[in-house]
Amino acid sequence: MNTHLHDLARAAGVEIHWRDVHGNDQIVADEGLRAVLAAIDLPAETPAQIRESLGAIQGEAAHRAEPLITADFATPIRVFGPPGRYRITLESGLTIDGHADQAGLCQVELAGVNESGYHQLELGGATRSLAVAPARAFTLEDAAKGRKLWGIAIQLYALRRHNDGGIGDFTALAKLATQAAAHGADVLAISPVHALFSADPRRFSPYSPSNRAALNVLHITEPSDLPGEAMIDWPVAGAAKLQALRHAYENFHDHDALNAFRHESGDRITRHALFEAIQAELAPGNDTALDWRNWPEAYRDPKNPAVLRFFDTHTHEVGFHIYLQYRADKELRAAQRAAREAGMRIGLVADLAVGTDHAGSQSWSYQAQVLRGLEIGAPPDAINREGQSWGITALSPHGMRQSGFTAFIEMLRHALRHAGGVRIDHIMGLARLWVIPFGMRSGQGAYLKLPAVDLLRLVALESQRHRAVIIGEDLGTLPEGFDARLNRAGIAGLRVMWFERDGSGFKPPSAWTNTAVAMTTTHDLPTVAGWWTGNDIAWRNRLGMAGDSEEMRAADRAALWSAFRSSGATQAAMPAPERGDLAADAASAHLGLAVSTLALLPIEDALALPEQPNLPGTHAEHPNWRRRLAEPADELFNRPDVAARLKALSKARERS
């Protein structure tokens, strides 16, 4: 065991041990540790490098002066700095003067602040931002005001509308929101609408975006004659949509509105538009240019004078991409307004992906705040014995601290801009991420700690400022104590029916967590009808993937139906395996009986569909993120069986 290497790893926030799904402690090999440390600019190949890297960490700790400090409401604040007089200028304009007392090595303590918000701290001749967080986020209970809420979870691209060009759009979303509200829904949770790559519609996974602080312009409403097929042909439909939008741009004349949007958005949208324009210029006939790391060196840095010259000589093209963001923003705002005006208490719940494509706009725009040389994923488990590498990157803990968390705050605000809440994908990523060095296997990675205290404070602060709920996708192995920390922060986890087990049986919905969101399934798991009929088993057998056997499923069917009967969701005899629709009927009522404040029914289960949107571990072998719904968005709930499921869900919520 290399003791000095382990000392460096601990100081850098790289965890040496990890616990597998069987509860066994595993140790990260020295090779993996060195590779992870090298990727975060801490070389550790030799004893001398280890000493130098450890000295760099210790030196930085002794002279820390991050541009933004976070703190809890009305709680003494510890900061790095000299003792002496300080002044805090609150957002409200009031000032607080005090004396900072020594409170440890290079640290002082200030009196607590009784006003949440972003304030300015003057101490030791320097001015820094001070983000004071409320005690907790705006919760589901705050929004519900004593009621039991329910909603629908949908994949936006799957929605259908006449003349929509083959991709679900924001107008279809608004229509669905109005219809769902008429049935009693208070929430419409949507798939991520982050910006993808206009120059390459082949990259269409909503969880591998280009930029999480910009929108997917292929969801803009623009008439197109392209026929709507059962599966989205993203390259064809995307190209057709962009061509129609270019025509619309040439005939657009409300430049005052466009300029106002650009001014309000600050540099965020202009940077993204510049990225899109440069990529569009370089990529035709040159696929390597689809990754900005292969661009001419002068274009790889957004601050390079060459990029500014490109802007000056391509103002029309950059303007087109700003226009696209303006259109998308306007239409998403209209969808949330439609949801709230139709009576929804919360309305849209956005989905914030855990990371972005290395080749994307966010990585280009915030190079100092993004992990380089590392991909994020998951360690080996019972199903994925080699672990998982998701092919994406995330924000760097060191980079975020050094930059005042600007990219993280910008991303949060964008997600909450036109929504009543946000679902944070893989919320464990606020505490730690499994990182894999380029060129290494997933199992050779390690956990990298993130500044969870700071990030959770910022989440709570932005949640309260937007009066928006926060839902954390907490499925999988959580860091010890993290679930309790999320609960204290007012962040709701997820409780999925498939995982609510009690030995060989299923827990009654009255025993599910009341502060979490109840769901029958997720986009990565089988639908109720698909599970009941064994469609998921057939897919895994076809692709040679591990999973349940027919014998296991038969036993689980009986256990689930017993749970349905015990909860009062149904008193019918267990249906045959081919009757997935009857299983969906019972599951809707069962979900409604959950003690949770919010129950979310995926649209696939409302419609009793057998196919799931995504099958993890597959790419072209399974039509991930391509399936469309058969009926138009404003007619989805007109079918008697669908209306009956929603009515059963709604009635059950009243009894839960």
DSSP H or E segment with residue 17? strand 17-19
Selection from 204, 254, 168, 193 nearest residue 632 by Cα: 168
CB-count burial class (<10 Å; 0-12, 13-18, 19+) for 574: middle
Tokens of 273: 């538009």
pLDDT at 383 over 70: no
Classify 525 as helix, strand or coil.
coil
Check: CB of residue 141 under 8 Å from CB of residue 134. no
pLDDT at 225 over 80: no
pLDDT at 56 over 70: yes
Q: Say what the pLDDT of residue 223 is.
A: 86
- Give the ranges where 93-252 is alpha helix by DSSP (H): 140-144, 170-182, 234-250
C-alpha–C-alpha distance, residues 450 and 4, integer Å: 22
pLDDT tens-digit profile of 92-132? Answer: 999 999 999 999 888 999 999 999 999 999 999 999 999 99
Listed in order, strand segments (DSSP E) in 179-224 are: 187-190, 194-195, 211-215
199-205 — which CB contacts under 8 Å span 24+ positions? 199/276, 199/279, 199/280, 199/283, 199/290, 200/283, 200/290, 201/234, 201/235, 201/237, 201/238, 201/239, 201/242, 202/234, 202/235, 203/357, 204/157, 204/232, 204/234, 204/238, 204/625, 204/626, 205/624, 205/625
Tokens of 62: 């002794």
Band (340; pLDDT cuts 50, 70, 90) = very high
C-alpha–C-alpha distance, residues 431 and 420, integer Å: 24
Band (192; pLDDT cuts 50, 70, 90) = very high
C-alpha–C-alpha distance, residues 605 and 608, integer Å: 5
Query: Tokens 């919320």 belong to which residue?
Result: 427
pLDDT at 292 over 80: yes
Query: Tokens 């000493």 belong to which residue?
Result: 51
First to last CA, the chain: 55
Band (234; pLDDT cuts 50, 70, 90) = very high
pLDDT at 382 over 70: no
pLDDT tens-digit profile of 609-625? Answer: 999 999 998 989 999 99
C-alpha–C-alpha distance, residues 137 and 465, integer Å: 9
C-alpha–C-alpha distance, residues 498 and 252, integer Å: 50
DSSP H or E segment with residue 602? strand 598-602
Q: Say what the pLDDT of residue 229 is.
A: 87
CA distances in angstroms from 162 to 180, 224, 324, listed in the order given: 19, 9, 21
pLDDT at 178 over 90: yes
Q: Say what the pLDDT of residue 24 is.
A: 84
pLDDT tens-digit profile of 71-92? Answer: 999 999 999 999 999 999 999 9
Q: What percent of the chain has pLDDT over 70?
A: 99
pLDDT at 426 over 80: yes
C-alpha–C-alpha distance, residues 338 and 360, integer Å: 32
β-strand partners of 374: 437
pLDDT at 409 over 90: yes
Q: Across residues 574-579, what is the average pLDDT?
A: 98
Output Rg (C-alpha) for the chain, integer angstroms.
25
pLDDT tens-digit profile of 235-276? Answer: 999 999 999 999 999 999 999 999 999 999 999 999 999 999
Band (62; pLDDT cuts 50, 70, 90) = low
Distance of CA 576 to the CA centre of its chain: 38
Band (228; pLDDT cuts 50, 70, 90) = confident
Q: Across residues 27-45, what is the average pLDDT?
A: 96
Print the SS3 string covering 617-646: CCCCCCCCCCECCCCCHHHCCCCHHHHHHH
Distance of CA 208 to the CA centre of its chain: 10
Q: Say what the pLDDT of residue 2 is.
A: 82
The domains of the chain are located at 3-62, 74-133
Q: Across residues 168-182, what is the average pLDDT?
A: 98
Band (387; pLDDT cuts 50, 70, 90) = confident
pLDDT tens-digit profile of 7-26? Answer: 999 999 999 999 887 788 89
Q: Say what the pLDDT of residue 3 is.
A: 87
pLDDT tens-digit profile of 491-518? Answer: 999 999 999 999 999 999 999 999 999 9
Q: Across residues 548-572, what is the average pLDDT?
A: 97
Check: CB of residue 395 under 8 Å from CB of residue 371. yes
> What pTM value is reported for the model?
0.97
Q: Say what the pLDDT of residue 1 is.
A: 62
* Polymer length in residues for the chain: 656
Single-letter residue type at 452: A
Single-letter residue type at 329: D
Across the chain, mean pLDDT equals: 95
CA distances in angstroms from 24 to 19, 21, 387, 475, listed in the order given: 5, 7, 16, 19
CB-count burial class (<10 Å; 0-12, 13-18, 19+) for 1: exposed
β-strand partners of 518: 495, 599
C-alpha–C-alpha distance, residues 131 and 404, integer Å: 10
Identify the sign of the CA torsion 272, 277, 279, 280.
positive
Band (31; pLDDT cuts 50, 70, 90) = very high
Check: CB of residue 219 under 8 Å from CB of residue 376. no
Band (477; pLDDT cuts 50, 70, 90) = confident
pLDDT tens-digit profile of 455-476? Answer: 999 999 999 999 999 999 999 8
β-strand partners of 25: 19
